[in-house]
Amino acid sequence: MVVAAVAELWKHNEEIVTLLKNNYDLLIAAFLAVAATFLVSKSWSKGGARSIDVPGRLGLPFIGETLAFLSATNSFKGCYEFVNLRRSRYGKWFKTRLFGKIHVFVPTTEGARKIFTNDFSYFNKGYVKSMADCVGPKSLLSVPHESHKRIRRLLSDPFSMPSLATFVVKFDQLLSQRLARLARNGDSFKVLEFSMQMTFDAMCSMLMSVTEESLLREIEKDCTAVSEAMLSLPVMIPGSRYYRGIKARERVMERFSGMIERRRSGVESHEDFLQSMLAKDSYPSTEKLEDAEIMDNLLTLIIAGQTTTAAAMMWSVKFLNDNRDAQDRLREEQLAITRKKADDYVLSLEDINSMSYGLKVVKETLRMSNVLLWFPRVALNDCTVDGKFFPLDYRIEIKKGWHVNIDATCIHYDPVLYKDPLQFNPSRFEEMQKSYSFIPFGSGPRTCLGMNMAKVTLMVFLHRLAGGYKWTMDDLDLSLEKKSHIPRLRSGCPITLKAL
């Protein structure tokens, strides 16, 4: 009888062992979840959430993990690979030390809301030194609160509705001519290279009436060097990216200064943004920009308008090529507009406003491409940032002087916010999005000044491309361009056009 009982017990034990073996991973995950919840809950008081420290590695003073960051920037995976690796080690929230400053990466809508809504009161713009040096101390991206509101207001004219309406006409004429020429030649071309030149020429024409080809290319070469120096070690070593960028910035400033001098002396006069700024010379200081403010912000507008919009144009071609259903639906909408027009028509702002699916394609492109990977701020005082951990609330402690990076990429790829986030699906924007879940242009008082211009530029491009042509991609390499603070395909996304 005892032997029978022991045999029966052993039989049950074997079943238990087999059950454990077959569900080992599940049991381990459950154990870790329970343990993590227990440990976090121990730090909570009965009155609500408590502050917790952020995991991460700071390394040596000043150096920290700067070399690892620069190494990622100089790889074909892009600088965000640095972020991905640390997330795999520490979780969504982590801190690091870059260029001598402690950085906390903020991956939640709750954290984004706290920071964006408290710009200027608890936070200010916090670019790394190399980026701030490149755009200049009077740039809208660098100035303190007391100057920001005035400069932003005085820079707003090129982005008003009447100015955008004029821009749409000029950009559409320029774009349609160049695309038609490429289609006639039948040659493969790189979308990134094409869109960089298109957006640069359009910005220079609108801001300064510069249209001479040789001058455009000279200015573009220097602006490219400035852009490439934005994520570099800020040391003036001859031959380094930072050195070349700062020297290029000096040449650009000399050109701008010469333009201003010729216009003030009456040698030149144009109807453009620069002329409208100089027309305010006799105004009170609160109603005009100093020369240094004009020049730094001309450079900022050109670089920001060119690099981000051109990259988004490139990614839109890549994503539409991957999703033919979206491409076909977009093409049908654009052809419906074309059928109502004469052969040599030019788009209007009203046409742009009728492109409902086109706008969704633009939004989905911006969500997936993340041409602005994160939005940097610096804490003006000790504070906390809200977050989530399992079902519980918590507050992350932030010290005065720390940099907080609102991680748009992590938010845009969050499967809780976006179903199948790696799938290009413009129709997802038929539904209302959660607050602060879609932030390609930031939010709050520092929302991107050129937001509407970027959207209309992309929609004009999509109309002319999808409504007039089909294309084949000539290189499917997904490697990213080295040394860029904006994710761009190393191949430049080469395509060949065929007119419909």
Share of the chain above pLDDT 70, in %: 88
Please state, as a whole number, how many other Cβ atoms lie within 10 Å of the Cβ of residue 39. Answer: 9
In which band, very low, low, confident or very high, does the pLDDT at 2 lie, cut at 50, 70 and 90?
very low
Share of the chain above pLDDT 90, in %: 69
Q: Between 6 and 101, whose confidence is greater?
A: 101
How does strand 383-389 pair with strand 123-125? unpaired
Q: Can you give the pLDDT at residue 500?
A: 86
Q: Which helix (H) or strand (E) holds 217?
A: helix 213-228
In sequence order, the 6+-apart residues with CB closer than 8 A to the CB of 58 are: 64, 65, 95, 96, 97, 102
Match 């530029």 to its residue by tokens.
457
What is the tens place of the pLDDT at every residue in 432-472?
A: 999 999 999 999 988 998 899 999 999 999 999 999 999 99
Using alpha carbons, list the distances in angstroms from residue 63 to 69, 202, 387, 489.
Answer: 11, 40, 29, 29
In which band, very low, low, confident or very high, does the pLDDT at 21 lie, cut at 50, 70 and 90?
very low
In which band, very low, low, confident or very high, does the pLDDT at 143 lie, cut at 50, 70 and 90?
confident
- Return mean pLDDT, the chain: 87
Nearest 5°: the CA angle 485, 90, 440 is 35
Q: Can you give the pLDDT at residue 125?
A: 82
Q: Which helix (H) or strand (E) holds 130?
A: helix 129-135
Q: Above 60 in pLDDT, residue 490?
A: yes
410 is in an annotated binding site: no
Q: Above 80 in pLDDT, residue 12?
A: no
Question: How far is 346 from 351, CA to CA, in rounded Å?
Answer: 10
What is the tens place of the pLDDT at every residue in 368-419?
A: 999 999 999 999 999 888 765 444 567 888 999 999 999 999 999 999 999 9
Q: 309, exposed or middle or buried, with CB in 10 Å at 0-12, 13-18, 19+?
A: buried
In which band, very low, low, confident or very high, does the pLDDT at 159 lie, cut at 50, 70 and 90?
confident
Question: How far is 7 from 86, CA to CA, in rounded Å?
Answer: 51
Q: Can you give the pLDDT at residue 216?
A: 95
Q: Can you give the pLDDT at residue 50?
A: 63
Q: Above 50 in pLDDT, residue 4?
A: no
Q: Can you give the pLDDT at residue 360?
A: 98
Question: How far is 220 from 197, CA to CA, in rounded Å?
Answer: 8
What is the tens place of the pLDDT at every residue in 88-141?
A: 999 999 999 998 999 999 999 999 999 999 988 889 887 778 888 999 999 988
In sequence order, the 6+-apart residues with CB closer than 8 A to the CB of 353 are: none
Structural domains of the chain in order of their starting residue, each with its CATH number: 44-499 (1.10.630.10)
Q: Which helix (H) or strand (E) holds 499?
A: strand 494-499
Return the DSSP state at 376.
Answer: E
Q: Above 70 in pLDDT, residue 291?
A: yes
